[in-house]
Amino acid sequence: MITFYVALAVFAQESTWNFYDSRVPELLRDYIASAAVIGLLMGMDNLLGVFIQPAMGNRSDNTRTAWGRRIPYLAVMMPLGAVLFLLIPHASSLGWLILLIFLYAVVMNSFKPISESLLPDFIRPERRSRANAAVKTAAALTVIVAALVSLLLVDDHPQLAFAVPAGLMLAAAAVLVWKVRDSDSDGYQAALAEDAADAAVRGAPGEATATEGAATQGAAAEGAAATGAVTAGAEGQGTKIGAILRDLARDPDRSRLLMIVTVFVFGSAWAASRALMTPYGVEALGLSDGEAGGLTLPSGIAYILAAFPAALLAERFGRLRVIMVGMAIFAVGTILGTVVQNPVATMVTLCLAAAGAAGFMINAVVVLWNLAPSSRVVGTYTGLYTVGWAGGAMAGPALVGLAVDLTGWHLMLLHITVLALIAIVLVIRVDRLQRGAAAQGRSL
């Protein structure tokens, strides 16, 4: 059931994000004429996410309460985010509107890695891909929800329309607080055991044996599980974000760092393929704005259909292999679109690209979770994944747009292909490193 609860939380928060992306630009247009300024304000949430999400993921990693380390934050921040979202259409001036969207972005970025980290807390490493597929499918469905709310309510009841996603998030928060105690999760119990082991090492005399340390660790874990006692402040130095980043940079096995770079590079390719598709359709294919905007619709369905098979294949053949194959399919699609440039071929291109991208999106964060050196830092690694993805979302359209300025719109998909090929090379390197380190017992 935990997969359902995490999917519910992600569905609720992504419902507000998708509706935010579709409606807030129109609210800003009431005060601002410049598309560039509107775009800058709409990109603020990605920039905030780069700084906030790793910090909040790390903060939740180091929290110890009777309810666990994630639920206390969700119990406060999800309702707060819903209230801020509900207030946005009531802003009476540009200053109030900017303040509300800033506060909304801060709160939503603060709990996003926390809700997503519930999944690896509860789900065993070998089952994480299929669980993440369910969560990603729920997120993809929010595009349909946002479209339906816009269609049914926005024209006649623009303020009431914001209440529907806000209500979904309040309901999801209530269900999570009622049903989920992540103090019972395997990940939380493992973190408590590691805390106890660290405390035993710091307090034990030099002649203490490994057996005694293990016994102390097990007893502490059992005691914490039985009492649910608050253990705030029990984190070791290695769980602080500065120490985690230093470990990441200094690790002679570059797998974790290379995966984050891969997320950035492939995130750039994906973001460019979405953000620049409408002008590509107009400039390269001769479509109207409306027709060009509809090019990506079938690919959304293709992504949903490919998500769960991508998880099952990853669990059978290995996540890194499925990621590589998925990115290769993405590249084949963009090459096809470069060679055959017409609306039908472009929609086929985008369907192939989306199906291939599912192999990456479902499994990449799972690889990072499984590479994390400790159960105590899973939330931080969720945030680091977001840093790579959000960074790509900001850089990709700009990089590909610059290349288009130099070569023309007809080669846009080829430039995206280059980014995908670079990402494939990076994952091949990670795969080789992991094969060399197989004796360490990591299973991706």
Task: Say if residue 120 is in the same domain as residue 171.
Answer: yes
pLDDT at 444: 54
State the residue range of the domain holding 94.
1-184
- Among 214, 235, 256, identify where a domain stops: 235
Same domain for 190 and 178, yes or no, is no
- Report whether 236 contacts 379 (CB < 8 A): no
Query: 3-class DSSP state for residue 276?
Result: coil
Residues 290 and 338 in one domain: yes
* Predicted local distance difference test score (pLDDT) of residue 222: 33
Which is it for the CA torsion 28, 34, 35, 40, positive or negative? negative
Is residue 443 domain-resident? no
Structure tokens at 221: 């874990």
Distances from the Cα of 185 to the Cα of 78, 317, 341, 375, angstroms: 21, 27, 51, 11
- Total count of residues recorded for the chain: 444
Chunked in runs of 10, what are the mean pLDDT values of the chain (444 residues)? 82 80 76 70 78 86 83 91 91 89 91 85 81 81 67 68 85 86 79 77 51 36 34 49 81 87 94 82 81 77 89 89 95 93 91 93 90 83 88 85 87 94 94 74 52
Task: Count the domains in the chain.
Answer: 3
Instruction: List the CATH number of the domain containing 278.
Output: 1.20.1250.20
Question: Are 371 and 287 contained in the same domain?
Answer: yes
Q: Verify that 111 and 193 share a domain, yes or no.
A: no
120 and 243 housed in the same domain: no
Q: Residue 244: name the closest of 387, 39, 341 by CA.
A: 387
Predicted confidence at residue 218, as pLDDT, reads 37
Q: What is the pLDDT of residue 197?
A: 78
Six token digits for residue 78? 């999800």
Query: Is residue 194 located within the same domain as residue 253?
Result: no
